[in-house]
Structure 1
Amino acid sequence: MSLLFAPALVAADGQWAALQQGGTCEAASKTVGASYKDRPAARASISFDAGGPRHGQFSARLSRVPRPGATVMLHIGDQPFMLMTQNDMAWSRGPKQEQAIIAAMRNSGGMRVEARSPGGGRIVDRYALDGAPLAIDAAAACAAGLANH
């Protein structure tokens, strides 16, 4: 998202909010776990671009940078999803996985993003999913509305 102007709140429910910034709308939530003072809180989002390439892309900023080459896994209920990674960011792998992630989010109470730290320990960022369906629907509608103008 562009940092030229602050995001506008579109809708909020539970632990999730739908935000609009420029031509992008997203459903986003911060981790329910502790955050570190020296870095931003872990965050997960589903992004939609008005007329752009993202139509439900999952992304997560991890609470810590994983070990180089480490696999980052998203677990929603009992469904695992392997994510693409770069530094402390992880993303969904394409439209089919994004559809499956959104469907899983609608039917589960929580999710977690896991990886290995450089020291070999576990990084586990947990998220509550209460409010996620409304925020996802609001973000999708927001992007569709922007594309029609």
Structure 2
Amino acid sequence: MALAAAAVPASARVLAASGSWAAVERNSGRSCEALSRSEILARKGREQARATFSFDRSAARRGQLYLVLSRPARPGAKALLSVADQTFLLATRGNHAWSRGPDQEAAIMTAVRRATDMRVRVRDSAGRGFSDRYLLPGAPTAIDAAAAACAPGM
């Protein structure tokens, strides 16, 4: 639960928390997120790596994965997300990475349900490889809670 609590923004209302994940509501209920921080704490002065699955009541986002990376990616680099036995190619810009569309997002959420961790691998601006690891206990519960709270028409 400590991992989930560390990732929850002060402006969000907690909907559910389980394992290392939490589901939160933002923007007066217009958006919801399932989120967690990476397994490793950021060094002092650095932004904490975190993962978020986002949902909008308008149905614009239905599980978009957004990652804050532990360091900036090399310009033009792609991030590889490994979940269970699947690998997904993510887009990057600076220290951000994100999923590439609804089909990929659905596949990632399905993989998360049967995995114990996920890892994103990227090359930094100096060309060195690095990875951020996320523990997945509680992720399905948080994803379901965020999706239900921001279901279109609710």
TM-score (norm 1): 0.91
Runs of 4+ off more than 4 Å: none
Q: Distance in 2 between matches of 1:87 and 1:8?
A: 28
Residue 135 of structure 1 aligns to a residue whose secondary structure is helix
The alpha-carbon deviation at position 36 of structure 1 amounts to 2.3
Q: 1:6 aligns with which of 11, 18, 31?
A: 11
Q: Distance in 2 between matches of 1:41 and 1:134?
A: 23
The alpha-carbon deviation at position 129 of structure 1 amounts to 0.3
Residue-by-residue CA offset, 1:102-121 (whole Å, 9 max, x unaligned): 00000000001110111221
Aligned to 1:74: 81
Q: Distance in 2 between matches of 1:33 and 1:124?
A: 10
Q: Is the 8 A contact 1:36 1:63 kept in 2?
A: no
| Cα-Cα RMSD | 1.3
Residue-by-residue CA offset, 1:91-137 (whole Å, 9 max, x unaligned): 11111100100000000000011101112212210000000000000
The alpha-carbon deviation at position 51 of structure 1 amounts to 1.0
Runs of 5+ in structure 1 lacking a partner? none
Aligned to 1:41: 48
Runs of 5+ in structure 2 lacking a partner? 1-9
TM-score (norm 2): 0.88
Q: 2:117 aligns with which of 105, 110, 121?
A: 110
Aligned residues: 143
Q: What is the identity, as a one-letter code, of the residue corresponding to 1:83?
A: L
1:60-139 equivalences under 5 Å are: 60-139=67-146
Q: What is the identity, as a one-letter code, of the residue corresponding to 1:10?
A: L
Q: Distance in 2 between matches of 1:58 and 1:8?
A: 20
Q: What is the identity, as a one-letter code, of the residue corresponding to 1:11?
A: A
Residue 40 of structure 1 aligns to a residue whose secondary structure is coil
The 10-residue stretch of structure 1 (11-20 or 67-76) with the greater mean CA deviation from structure 2: 67-76
The reply to whether residue 19 of structure 1 matches residue 20 of structure 2 is no
